[in-house]
Structures are given as C-alpha cells and as structure tokens.
Chains A and B, each alone.
Chain A
Amino acid sequence: MALMQFSFLPQSLGFHTNVRIILPVDLPEAGAAAGRGRAPARLRTLYLLHGGGGNSLDWLRYTNVERYAERRGIAVVMPEVEGSCFYSDQAYGQKYFTYVAEELPLAAECLFPLSGKREDRFVAGLSMGGYGAFKLAFRKPDSFAAAGNFSGLSFVSDIFEEGGFAGDENGRSVVHANWGSLESLKGSLDDTRFLVDRAAREKTDLPRLFAGIGTEDFSYRYAVEFLEYAKGKGIDIAFEKMPGGHDWEVWDRLIDRFMDFMDGE
C-alpha cells in the first residue's frame, strides 16, 4: 500500500489538520496500469475514525489495518478531530461533523482516486469514533453502503447523565463544549436515540450497520441496551461480541471483521 499524509486547511475547521490515507496500488485489475504502480481509478473507500484523544496515526500504529485493507484492495481515510468533540459541530469550537461528513470527502474524492458512489463508501470507528460513524450513517444514509461501530454503541445522552460513565466533571465540560448542555443534546441530531427513532419513523434506507464490542468493555451493557432498543424499532444491527475490553486487541480484530462485513459477509 502507499501511505499519504495530507495536511490542509478545511473551511469547517479554520486550522490545518492532518489526514492519513492508505491506498492500494499495483492491483491486478488496474487494467492498463497493471503492474506499473498506479492506483486504479476510483477506489472503494473506508473512512475510519479514531477514538477520544486520538489522531490520524492511531489506526496505523495500533492495528494491522493496512494489511487488512491491502487484502481487500480498499483505500482507508483516517482524519483527526479534537479529542472530545464527538464528531460534532461544536457549540463552542469547530464544525467537526461538517468536516468529516462533508468537506473532507468532497476534497478527498476530488484530489485522490476515491470513489464517491454510495456502494463504494464505508465508515467505521472506535469508541467516540464508533459513535461518530453511526452518526454519519444515520444523518447521511445516502453516503455509505455500510457503517461500523466498535465499542461506541450507546445513547450518548445516557453516558453523560449523572451516573453514566462520562457523567463526571470532565464529562460535563465535554457536553458544554460540544452541545452547550445535556438538554441541548437531547433530541438533537447528535442524540443517537433521536436518530434511531427518526430512522424508524421515516423508514430510512440506512447503510448496513455493524457493531462490535468486547464483553469486558466497561460500556458493554450500554451496547446491549442500544441493540435491543434499535431492534424494537425495527432497525437491524449485525452484532459481534468477543472476549476483551475497551482496547486495541479488540479493535484490531473488529476492523478485520468489519471489512468482511463490507463485502457482504
């Protein structure tokens, strides 16, 4: 694979940011360019999101995503966002949702050989990135064929409630920066419960949904609740659990598994 670090100033952020992109090259089906080191035109692309506090290097450093992508001949785009922004257009801060959902794909699909067709586009992430991936899938269903949520399946409003695993002082400042208040978050387009309800009500043609988590993950019970709730509303989510915690060993296995899911397995 070829590795690209792309730095630019997106309008939605107002500062320079980095994106790591890995591209399959030398694919046999590159046609006239076969065996000459060219990327074939318009690659199937996975937008892969990091978790809280992470950056565009995380997936490359801590998993074997490059080898898994190489086997399937897909490009992987790894942006970076502010550590606790929850992929949101922040109340006090920058427009991270607009960046990842709109501006980045627009730029990347113009500048690099990435496909803009729904059937060729996928999104996934871990933890905060898993939440981000599902948010993209529910809010821009026509943009993706499938979405993967690794260890990030929860009702975001629940986790920030008093007693939730992010209901402490730090959590309160995250809520303030992203949404202003918990009340503003509830019922908004960043509220996963609202998104599930809306999709059910409107019978939205959603991307195929996949969720995975380790059984020892501290947020495991939230994932189970979410799945049951979604199922009750008629929304299918393929679910994979495995021994493990909220950690990279689980995410390394899940990203490989998700790439099979992308192929319809």
Chain B
Amino acid sequence: MGIVHYTFRSRVLRQQTSVVVVLPTYARRGSPVSLEEFYRPGKKYRTLYVLHGGSDDCTYYVRNTSIERYAQEGGFAAVMPEVRLSFYCDMRHGGKYLTFISEELPEVVESVFPLSSESRDRFVVGNSMGSHGAMKWAMTRPGDFAAAAGMSGVGDVEDMGFFDMFPREGSNPVLCSFGTAGEYRGSANDLRLLAKRLAEYGGRIPRLFSCCGTEDPYYPGVRRFVEYAAQVGLPLTFEEGPGAHQWEFWDKWLIRIIDWMGIKE
C-alpha cells in the first residue's frame, strides 16, 4: 500500500489541516496484473472514511491499528482526517467541523486521489468521539454512504453524561462543540433526533452498525441508544464483545466492521 500524509488549507476551517490516506499500490507478488495494467488512469477505489476519537489526530489509526493491512487485504482506500476536539460539530464555539468533514473533505480527497464518489463505494467508521461523528454524518446525509459504523460511543450525548464530564470552563470541548445540554437538544447534533428523522426518511439509507465492549464505561449509554433506535423504527445492528475503551478493542472490531460492511473487493 501507499500511504499519503496530505496537508492542505481548508476553506471551511480557514486553516491548514492534514489527512492520512492509504491507497492500493502495485505489488508484483500475488498480483494477477502487470504494473502498467494496475496503474491505468481512471481507476477509482472504494473508500472507508475513518474518524478518530477525542484528542487523537490523523496518524492515530495508522499507529494503533492495522488499518493499512486491512485496507490492503480488502483492496480499498482509507481516509483519516483530523478534527481535534470538535466532536465533528459545526461547533457552538469554534470551527465548522461537520461541514468540513461531510462537504469539503470528500470533495478534496476525491479530486486528488483515485476515490470513488458513488455512495455504494463509500463507508464510514469511527471510535468514541469518532463513532458519534460517523453516525452523525451518515444520518445527516443518508445518501453519502453504503454503510456507517461506530465503535464505543454511538449514543445520545446528553444521556451518556458528556455534559457533566468536564469542568465548566472555556476549554471544555463538549461545551465548545455542542454548547449546553439545552442547546444540544433539538440541534443538528442531537443523535436521537437524527435517528428519528432517518427512520421517517423515505429514501435509501445506509446500513448502520454500533458496537461496544462490555467493560466500556459507555456501554450502558450505547445499549440505551440501540433500544431507542428500535423504538423509533431505525434499523441499527448492534454487536458487543469483551473489552474496554481501548485500541485493542477497536483494532479487532475494525476487522468485523469491514467484513460486515462488505467493503472488500
């Protein structure tokens, strides 16, 4: 595989930002085609957008999972942006990270790299804060993906206790991202509201997957959201396994999710 660290100026964020992209490259061993056939112009790859958790960056998945190996085995590309502590929000106090991730980023990477723009070829997964991001993106723009998955954090932000998690001061990432609990409720970030709307949506929606480790502190909140989804009639596959809020769990479940999504060539 080739790995790219791409730095560009985001118009939406009004600053330089980086994204790591892994792309299939030619390997003679095991390849049924020649170098020239492999690198023919016009090739487009199925793409998995991989969204990091709080305080992580665009290098974290590469360093803490074998995402590159999974992408290589599956013959797809992976795109790993970075959004700092924004919870993938158009922040209440801060940058427009939801617009960045869901509108600007795909436009940029699909014009620079050989990535397919067809929704049947596009997938998104995230862990923790990234699971909120993945679900929110997929639910807000149901035509963007064939499938979306969240690990260890697909739940209602208020219900999971996020608004009580940090001291009430300017550096509080929940406050900066969502505002207060009152401001979250009914907003574009309200995952329960998004789920309800998606259940009522008449068009094609992505397949949705949530998983959590049974020792993870967010497990109860994640389970409650699964029940909520069932109540409002939103199809949401849930699986669980032993494990806590850690990379061992996310690396292992990436494999399961890739399989479940059917991304592989």
Contacts and interface: CB of A to CB of B under 8 A. Distances in A.
Contacts of B28: 11
Contacts of A103: 35
Interface stretch (A104-112, A129-137, A164-172, A238-246): A104-112
A7 B9 contact: no
Contacts of B8: 2-3, 25, 37
B25 A36 contact: no
A6 B4 contact: yes
Dominant secondary structure of chain B at its interface with chain A: mixed
A110 B111 contact: no
A116 B41 contact: yes
A5 interface: yes
Contacts of B5: 4-5
B40 A110 contact: yes
Contact of A107 (B3, B9, B26, B104): B26
Interface residues of B, number: 30
Interface residues of A, number: 28
Nearest to A35: B11
Given A37-B104, A110-B40, A116-B41, A5 B111 contact: no
Interface string A1-17: 01111111101000000
A3 B6 CA distance: 6
A38 B2 contact: no
Contacts of A2: 6-9, 112
A106 B39 CA distance: 6
Contacts of B26: 11, 107
A223 interface: no
B230 interface: no
Interface in B96-114: 104, 107-108, 111-114
Interface of B: 1-11, 23, 25-28, 35-36, 38-41, 43, 104, 107-108, 111-114
24 contacts: A2-B6, A2-B7, A2-B112, A4-B7, A4-B112, A5-B6, A6-B4, A7-B4, A8-B2, A8-B25, A23-B112, A25-B108, A26-B11, A33-B111, A37-B11, A37-B104, A38-B108, A39-B112, A106-B39, A107-B25, A107-B26, A110-B41, A111-B23, A112-B113
Given A2-B112, A33-B111, A111-B114, 18 more contacts: A2-B8, A3-B8, A4-B6, A6-B2, A7-B4, A8-B3, A11-B28, A11-B35, A25-B8, A26-B11, A33-B107, A36-B104, A37-B8, A37-B9, A106-B35, A110-B39, A111-B39, A111-B113
